[in-house]
Amino acid sequence: MNTIELKQVKTGGCCVPAAKTNIDFVKSTNKELPIAIIGAGPVGLAAAAHLANIDERFILLESGDRVGSNILNWGHVRLFSPWQYNIDKIAKKILEKHSWNAPSLDQLPLGKELVNEYLEPLSKLPEIKPFLSLNTKVVSISKKGLDKMKTANRDNSPFVLYLEQNGLSKRIEVRAVIDATGTWSHPNPINADSIWTKEEIELKQHVYYGIPNIEGEHKERYKGKRVAVVGGGHSAINTILELSQLDNIDITWIIRKKNVEDAYGGEDKDALKARGELGSRIHQLVDAGQIKVYTPFHIHQLTKTNDGIGITGDSNGSKITLPPVDEIIANTGSRPDFSFIREIRLSIDSATESVEALAPLIDPNLHSCGTVRPHGEEVLRQPEKDYYIVGMKSYGRAPTFLMATGYEQVRSIVAHLSGDFESANKVELELPETGVCSINLTQQNSNQSCCGMEASKC
């Protein structure tokens, strides 16, 4: 296990990484402090690769016991984007310098393959490994000697990170923070009002949040059972398609969307073929009557009965209780964790909980697109200078994040932090289109572009 050794120094008594990391962090100016990356998933590791590539000091902090630990929770799931969109260009360049054998770029990796064949080799490179700390949780971030209310000299003060590592609390100073902590470990409840009710909490042993390994460890849990899947996105579709392969299973699909057709996506119009095929396959199962679909349906209450779990909710203004089920699988999305950054000045959209300037590009209340035009440092900039939220967390509660989007985010941010403002302002990414895009026509100009395309082409 890699750890960052910390020691007391005379400059204010704060803890800083010791010589083990091969970086002298005890300096007199912020510029000579490291940049902290929080989260060693694909986007966090891409940030590390970009910083290493230009010899910028950094530390990479991961709460799990290995890189990509959240991905391994869905390691059995195959991505709908091929390797081409899942490998950062600079990370690839550094890996190949060390004789890495890249996978076939047109193949679709499983989540565990993404970790084992890409993230793990990347994390073990000499440019990154000495500065990676596993089992290290960031519990709080502030500005040195300043609470949130203080403005004087704020931009020139370093960030202070409080860590929990191997049972010890530690404190380090950094000059900038790239928050790539994601949202996976904070699922949304199935309650339509997005509230954790007492009943849902008490029934958690019968509710799985995420995509279970139905062909593996969870097979017996669902075989021969009555299972309700809640959610209208790709995760729910993946779950249902796998459940449909089990014998003697009864599947109920609960969706808040107005029509089930809204869940199918672009189908054959989607540039990501595998993503389009998900919609086509679920479309066929619904048409064949193999799934009971309730839509629109808003869950208000769960009840434990002698015959299973009762689900009561509202559909088109009528109160309905569905036939009881044995298990519930919640694919209702996730939300960002802001608890450890309460002392940081943030600009967060009140609806999506995304970076505020990013919200108009991704807010499903305005439009629904699987592709969001590339964006960089300027869009992701926060009121707290040199603090950036990237990756899935930058999208807040909004869906359809692609790893390639996160790679472009950190490329631009790293360029800005290193003083290469011209590169930071460039867009160096092309993303596949979904083939479908709808825009809310109540906007002032219904001909405005959607996802960076003309509305007529959406």
**Residue-wise pLDDT tens digits, 4-28:** 444 333 333 344 443 343 333 333 3
Alpha carbons within 13 angstroms on the beta-carbon side of residue 264 total 15
> Under the phi-then-psi rule, with left for phi > 0, alpha for psi from -120 to 50, and beta for the rest, what region is 56?
beta
pLDDT at residue number 371: 55
User: What does the alpha-carbon distance between residue 275 and residue 281 come to, in Å, rounded to a whole number?
Assistant: 10
| Helix extents (H) in 288-347 | none
Q: Per the domain annotation, does 207 fall within a domain?
A: yes
Q: Per the domain annotation, does 365 fall within a domain?
A: yes
Show the domain range for 89: 6-185+334-439
Domain identity same for 342 and 322:
no
- Please return the burial class of 56, using the count of CB atoms within 10 Å of its CB with bins 0-12, 13-18 and 19+: middle
Evaluate if residue 440 carries a pLDDT over 80.
no
Evaluate if residue 405 carries a pLDDT over 60.
yes
Tell me: the pLDDT tens digits for 294-344? 999 999 999 999 999 999 999 999 999 999 999 999 999 999 999 999 999
> Under the phi-then-psi rule, with left for phi > 0, alpha for psi from -120 to 50, and beta for the rest, what region is 435?
left
Pairing of strands 207-209, 327-330: parallel
**pLDDT averaged over every residue in the chain:** 85
Instruction: Determine the average pLDDT of the residues in 123-146.
Output: 97
Least trusted range by pLDDT, from 46-50, 85-89, 226-230, 451-455: 451-455
User: What does the alpha-carbon distance between residue 171 and residue 297 come to, in Å, rounded to a whole number?
Assistant: 48
Evaluate if residue 367 carries a pLDDT over 80.
no
Residue where a domain stops, chosen among 330, 350, 384: 330
Task: Count the Cβ atoms, other than its own, within 10 Å of residue 322.
Answer: 18
Domains of the chain: total: 2
Evaluate if residue 271 carries a pLDDT over 70.
no
Tell me, what CATH number does 234's domain have?
Answer: 3.50.50.60
Tell me: the pLDDT tens digits for 168-187? 999 999 999 999 999 988 99
Q: Which residue has the higher pLDDT, 226 or 167?
A: 226
Q: Per the domain annotation, does 240 fall within a domain?
A: yes
Domain identity same for 317 and 349:
no
Domain identity same for 44 and 62:
yes
Evaluate if residue 451 carries a pLDDT over 70.
no
Q: Which residues contact 102 (CB under 8 A, 6 or more apart)?
A: 83, 87, 92, 95, 96
Instruction: Determine the average pLDDT of the residues in 283-292.
Output: 89
Domain identity same for 158 and 10:
yes
User: What does the alpha-carbon distance between residue 49 and residue 129 come to, in Å, rounded to a whole number?
Assistant: 11
User: What does the alpha-carbon distance between residue 458 and residue 449 come to, in Å, rounded to a whole number?
Assistant: 9
Cα distances (angstroms) measured from residue 224 to each of 239, 244, 285: 16, 11, 18
Residue where a domain stops, chosen among 284, 315, 330: 330
User: What does the alpha-carbon distance between residue 171 and residue 68 come to, in Å, rounded to a whole number?
Assistant: 24
pLDDT at residue number 315: 93
Q: What is the DSSP string of 377-436?
A: HHHHB-SSTTEEE-GGGGGTT-----HHHHHHHHHHHHHHHTT-HHHHTS--------S-
Q: What share of the chain is helix, strand, coil (3-state, %, to 5)?
A: 30, 25, 50
Evaluate if residue 293 carries a pLDDT over 70.
yes
Instruction: Determine the average pLDDT of the residues in 441-458.
Output: 31
Alpha carbons within 13 angstroms on the beta-carbon side of residue 341 total 22
Domain identity same for 222 and 174:
no
Evaluate if residue 158 carries a pLDDT over 60.
yes
Q: Per the domain annotation, does 453 fall within a domain?
A: no
Amino acid 108 reads L
Domain identity same for 206 and 355:
no
Q: What percent of the chain has pLDDT over 90?
A: 69
Domain identity same for 149 and 162:
yes
Domain identity same for 396 and 363:
yes
Domain identity same for 147 and 243:
no
Domain identity same for 393 and 340:
yes
Cα distances (angstroms) measured from residue 186 to each of 48, 61, 210: 24, 19, 10
Domain identity same for 283 and 406:
no
pTM: 0.83
Least trusted range by pLDDT, from 315-324, 412-421, 425-434: 425-434
Domain identity same for 131 and 42:
yes
